């Protein structure tokens, strides 16, 4: 690895990450075609079967096929992950750029808001908000709308503030461009790469949160398959049927690795 030049290494990391992610997405999308069993269909004659044969990932305590449950859960969790990230990403980016560009009290207010939420244990915040807004997918979206933008606001503010005094922006201002045009046409393309790198790490983090809420019983609820609830259910059978908890967890880890490879790869490519 050491011998490769940075851009080449970046491209390699990015490629591996993208390939891993595409495989995951394809499996999720094609789940109805690939799976031989319905994820909700119970078969009490074939419960707690270890992985192998007809059931490559085994069956759970109700005889449901783990392979199709895991793939259908991917559909649920990846969809929530992608959808929940859109609004915070855009709002955070926008507010951060405004704060960084204008400075003054706007910047002060955004910094204070981000500082406050960083002091607040993130998981506690998410758990409490998800609880108050009511369990379910719905709660996850609201929670993330409330807290997710802060990270992007911080990144965008920092990136914008560092460009604020640059000669190149000064000259754009001298040319008489409106603030609006400067923010969208000059700043946005420069801030976006950093924000996208952060997006990848944050998505992995969000997936972990979705799964954690499911595990705690305040996220995705039964009977919708979700990796978190699957791990929670499997915990009761851990000594006899390890695959119930271990396999859904591996899915989360796999997705996380794919996302962080994409993020690292992009970061290395864009740094040059």
Task: Pick the piece of the chain touching another protein (CB under 8 A) from 85-93, 111-119, 171-179, 190-198.
Answer: 111-119
Q: Which is nearer to another protein, 47 or 131 (CB)?
A: 131
Phi, psi of 38 (to 5 degrees): -75, 135
Q: Which is nearer to another protein, 54 or 112 (CB)?
A: 112
Cα–Cα distances in Å, from 102 out to 87, 95, 152, 177? 23, 11, 17, 15
146: Cα separation from own chain's centroid: 16
Handedness of CA 47, 51, 52, 58 (dihedral sign): positive
67 binds another protein (CB under 8 A): no
99 binds another protein (CB under 8 A): no
Q: Which is nearer to another protein, 58 or 228 (CB)?
A: 228
b/e per residue 72-101 (b: at least 16 CB within 10 A): bbbbbbbebbeebbeebbebbbbbbbbbbb
Ranges of H-type helices in 223-242:
227-235
246 binds another protein (CB under 8 A): yes
174 binds another protein (CB under 8 A): no
* Identified binder of another protein from the candidate list 84, 195, 259, 266, rule CB under 8 A: 259
Site residues, another protein (CB under 8 A): 1-2, 112, 115-116, 118-125, 127-129, 131-134, 201, 204-205, 207-208, 211-212, 215-218, 228, 231, 235, 238-239, 242, 245-246, 249, 252-257, 259-261, 264
């Amino acid at each position: 690895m050491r011998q490769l030049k940075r851009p080449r290494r970046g491209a390699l990391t990015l490629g591996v990450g993208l390939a891993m992610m595409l495989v995951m997405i394809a499996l999720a999308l094609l789940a109805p075609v690939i799976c031989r069993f319905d994820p909700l269909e119970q078969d009490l004659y074939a419960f707690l079967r270890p992985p192998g044969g007809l059931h490559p990932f085994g069956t759970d305590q109700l005889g449901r096929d783990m392979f199709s449950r895991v793939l259908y859960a991917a559909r649920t969790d990846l969809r929530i992950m992608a959808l929940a990230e859109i609004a915070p990403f855009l709002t955070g980016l926008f507010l951060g750029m405004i704060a960084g560009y204008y400075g003054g009290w706007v910047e002060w207010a955004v910094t204070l808001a981000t500082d406050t939420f960083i002091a607040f244990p993130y998981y506690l915040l998410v758990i409490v908000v998800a609880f108050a807004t009511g369990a379910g997918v719905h709660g996850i979206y609201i929670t993330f709308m409330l807290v997710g933008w802060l990270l992007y606001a911080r990144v965008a503010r920092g990136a914008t503030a560092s460009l604020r005094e640059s000669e190149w922006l000064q000259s754009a201002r001298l040319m008489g461009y409106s603030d609006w045009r400067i923010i969208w046409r000059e700043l946005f393309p420069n801030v976006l790469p950093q924000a996208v790198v952060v997006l990848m790490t944050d998505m992995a983090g969000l997936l972990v949160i979705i799964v954690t809420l499911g595990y705690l019983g305040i996220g995705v609820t039964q009977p919708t398959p979700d990796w978190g609830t699957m791990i929670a259910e499997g915990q009761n059978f851990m000594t006899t049927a390890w695959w119930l908890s271990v396999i859904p967890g591996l899915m989360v880890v796999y997705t996380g690795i794919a996302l962080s490879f994409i993020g690292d790869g992009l970061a290395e490519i864009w740094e040059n």
